[in-house]
Structure 1
Amino acid sequence: MTAKMPKSRVQIKTLPVYCKSEEVQSVKVLHRIFWSFYPCIVAFRHCKPLVQVDGTHLYGKYKSALLVAVAQDENQNIVSIAFAIAEGETTDAWEFFLTNLRRYVVTINGVGIISDHDNSIDAAIARSNGASSPPRAWHMFCIRNIGSNFLKRFKAPYLHKLAVNTGYSRTEHEYNKNYQWLKEWGEAYTQWCDEIGVQRRVLAFDGGHRWRHMTTNLVECINSILKGARNLPVTAIVRSTFYRLNELFTRKSAEAHERIRNEFTYSEFATKRVEESFRRAGNIVINRFDRRNEMFEVHKMQDGSIYTVNLAQRHCDCGHFQVERLPTPMSSCSCMLH
């Protein structure tokens, strides 16, 4: 692989072989392997600063685990950026994978990492010497996995949706309301949530590092694509990821060239954006605005709500601008007028 793509990254860890308590010389057993193809490393530079990681078990002759890291660009294209095969989803295996991921692929600071609520991943990140901890990285949990763990812990399906909705709260006010409703059912429920931490499970407190992603859906999509390869020997699994990603990059390159050929002129594109913005905005009135400080007061006619939009700081009282990293109808309308 590295002969065909010299800038690809591979790390192999082996174990010695013993015969009657004596080490057999010149013989090693594969323990773990990490790999990332160079086009994937380059592709991540053009993706959101967000990584989703997950593991899936191999079900062939070799009972190991395949660990995968996935990213997404602003055009919603999904790309696998790194893989590893290890003895299982243990703390040591996750440490091996995450260390190499941060060393060779996700080298920027301020990146978000979304995973299942798993003690082994937590422990691995704690060993990272700050490489996967704030301010260099923010580790957050998949809300669907938290909901599943909530059901296992309390056997209360009637509270499952409320517990999940608490995580989806976009503002502190919305969170406090959902949290209080959950607490009224019993303090044990909110205490369990408090142990996880609001920064790791609630949109309103994640600092925008989730980029609207609440689950590990992206990496699970890749796991499903690789399902047919999970019963293969190790070399065949690596080869399978190579050819499938090569097919993906080839197809996406052709699509990009086709888009360029069919692209709107700038004026058509700008007109379309304005029309779309006002269509989404609906009945919205700008009460007052301060061009110098890029501050706007937006009045939503449907329900009488009033929001303050700060374009410079990308902040809106509704919470959507900060959480989703995209302009809300209120902020879009303000931006067009500005």
Structure 2
Amino acid sequence: MDTLDENEVDIGEVQVGLCDNMIGTNSAIWESYESYHSKDDTFTWEQAKSWVVGELIKSKFKRPGRIYKPRDIIEDMRQDYGINMSYEKAWRARENAYERVRGSPEESYNLLRRYGEALKFTNPGTIFHMELEDDRFFKYLFMAAGACVRGFLNCIRSVIVMDETFLKNKYRGQLIVAICLDGNNQIYPLAFEVVDRETYDSIRWFLEKLKGAIGKVPNLGFVTDRKTCFAKGISSVFPSAFHGLCVQHLSQNLHDKYKNDTVATLFYNASRTYCESTFVEAWRHLLAFPNGSGKYLNDVGIARWSRVHCPGRRYNTMTTNIAESMNSILKEPRDLPIASFLENVRALLQR
């Protein structure tokens, strides 16, 4: 994991309480500003403090999914109030507004239990689990909307793509996503996990909760990158499921390792073809290369990357691109406190 900035804390250090009160706004803040900004005062708009600007813009953050960047704040303040702001002040104003509307990062973790119960009450069949360390510190969180689970079991291709990305709020952590494709090749989110770090234990916990949600699914398959934690977790929790590898990651590994465009082209042809004869021809040329690329791919396991040799139903899910697309959609919300982030995910699913 990347080195933490001085104002960031590891997710495993945050305590999770039993707060029953939702975060409100401070109604006295505007009165105190009005008291300071009297008619006889020489205070100018150009001197506006970041907390004042935060009060002005907080309504922008009340709708789930609303992304309001510092550059947007600078432009709006210039147009609406004639205020020229630095990027740093706009950033502080945004953080101030975030906290007023969505709560502080610490308070957000205290809301998780209550948020999970509300989510399950208003969305029948939703699964929401939290794992704490020493009954105090946040460790893992699993969320799968009931409608998404029912849809997966009834009409979605049974190939689950898993990928991870970093959260960017104060306590960092990582997001694990499980994404599928429907019959029209549209992205279908299934489940989400927030963890302190991506390890075998966290992946196994996620897969155990996922298994509890979907049960035994015939012809189930997974597609991931080559991380060992995915391979060990899937073989442990879903021993009968097919586990394929992302051919895009493998192709990049081949390019980095052997620096040969012809090898990459032959691998592309061999991995994606539905025709045995096309595979045999490309594979023959790969084995003939003296650089060892054929042996490398053979050691990986042909059935894990060759569509024609797949023992299950891989359909056309050859890469983890759909999971990476979901991570890209959530790029801006990943800055938010955790409860607000989860609410953005819920709003996205129900859009």
Query: Partner residue of 1:262?
Result: none
Query: Partner residue of 1:22?
Result: none
Query: Partner residue of 1:209?
Result: 313
TM-score (norm 2): 0.63
Q: Shift of residue 127 of structure 1? A: 2.4
Q: Structure 1 CA distance, aligned partners of 2:159 and 2:126?
A: 21
Per the alignment, in what secondary structure is the counterpart of residue 213 of structure 1?
coil
Q: Shift of residue 202 of structure 1? A: 0.1
From 140, 149, 155, the equivalent of 1:41 is 149
Pairing 1:154–2:238 present = no
Q: What amino acid does structure 1 have at the position aligned with 2:245? A: F
Q: Shift of residue 187 of structure 1? A: 5.9
Whether the 8 Å CA contact 1:81–1:105 is kept in 2: the answer is no
Output one character per residue of 1:183-238: Cα deviation in whole Å (capped at 9) or x when no partner.
22126211110111111100111145111221122222211111111111211111
Q: Shift of residue 166 of structure 1? A: 1.9
Structure 2: 5+ residue runs without aligned partners? 1-118
Q: Shift of residue 63 of structure 1? A: 2.1
Query: Partner residue of 2:239?
Result: 133
Query: Partner residue of 1:71?
Result: 180
After TM superposition, the structure 1 = structure 2 runs for residues 259-270 of structure 1, keeping only pairs within 5 Å, are none
Structure number with the higher strand fraction is 1
Output one character per residue of 1:87-141: Cα deviation in whole Å (capped at 9) or x when no partner.
222211111112211221364121111111221211212322xxx233xx11101
Query: Alignment length, in residue pairs?
Result: 232
From 54, 57, 81, the equivalent of 2:190 is 81
Output one character per residue of 1:225-257: Cα deviation in whole Å (capped at 9) or x when no partner.
11111111211111111111111xxxxxxxxxx
Pairing 1:236–2:333 present = no
Q: What amino acid does structure 2 have at the position aligned with 1:225? A: I
From 103, 106, 121, the equivalent of 1:3 is 121
Q: What amino acid does structure 1 have at the position aligned with 2:221? A: G
Q: Structure 1 CA distance, aligned partners of 2:262 and 2:283?
A: 15
Query: Partner residue of 1:55?
Result: 164
Farther-moved stretch of structure 1 (212-221 vs 140-149): 212-221
After TM superposition, the structure 1 = structure 2 runs for residues 244-283 of structure 1, keeping only pairs within 5 Å, are 244-247=348-351
Per the alignment, in what secondary structure is the counterpart of residue 122 of structure 1?
helix
Q: What amino acid does structure 2 have at the position aligned with 1:236? A: S
Q: Structure 1 CA distance, aligned partners of 2:125 and 2:299?
A: 42
After TM superposition, the structure 1 = structure 2 runs for residues 49-198 of structure 1, keeping only pairs within 5 Å, are 49-105=158-214, 107-128=216-237, 132-134=238-240, 137-186=241-290, 188-198=292-302
Q: What amino acid does structure 1 have at the position aligned with 2:156? A: C
Q: Structure 2 CA distance, aligned partners of 1:103 and 1:4?
A: 20
Q: Structure 2 CA distance, aligned partners of 1:238 and 1:13?
A: 16
Per the alignment, in what secondary structure is the counterpart of residue 239 of structure 2?
coil
Q: Structure 2 CA distance, aligned partners of 1:169 and 1:139?
A: 18
Whether the 8 Å CA contact 2:258–2:291 is kept in 1: the answer is no
Q: What amino acid does structure 2 have at the position aligned with 1:234? A: I
Q: Structure 1 CA distance, aligned partners of 2:124 and 2:276?
A: 49
Q: Shift of residue 76 of structure 1? A: 2.6
Q: Structure 2 CA distance, aligned partners of 1:9 and 1:50?
A: 20
TM-score (norm 1): 0.65
Q: Structure 1 CA distance, aligned partners of 2:250 and 2:177?
A: 20
Q: Structure 1 CA distance, aligned partners of 2:228 and 2:255?
A: 17
Output one character per residue of 1:13-66: Cα deviation in whole Å (capped at 9) or x when no partner.
1012xxxxxxxxxx6011000010111111112111211111111122122110
Q: Structure 1 CA distance, aligned partners of 2:218 and 2:266?
A: 34
Query: Partner residue of 1:223?
Result: 327
Whether the 8 Å CA contact 1:68–1:82 is kept in 2: the answer is yes
Whether the 8 Å CA contact 1:57–1:88 is kept in 2: the answer is no
Structure 1: 5+ residue runs without aligned partners? 17-26, 248-338
Per the alignment, in what secondary structure is the counterpart of residue 133 of structure 1?
coil
Per the alignment, in what secondary structure is the counterpart of residue 332 of structure 2?
helix
If asked which structure has higher relative contact order (CA below 8 Å, sep 6+), I would say 2
Output one character per residue of 1:240-284: Cα deviation in whole Å (capped at 9) or x when no partner.
11111111xxxxxxxxxxxxxxxxxxxxxxxxxxxxxxxxxxxxx
Q: Structure 2 CA distance, aligned partners of 1:153 and 1:143?
A: 15
Q: Shift of residue 158 of structure 1? A: 4.2
Structure number with the higher helix fraction is 2
Q: What amino acid does structure 2 have at the position aligned with 1:98? A: L
Q: CA RMSD in A?
A: 1.7
After TM superposition, the structure 1 = structure 2 runs for residues 276-291 of structure 1, keeping only pairs within 5 Å, are none
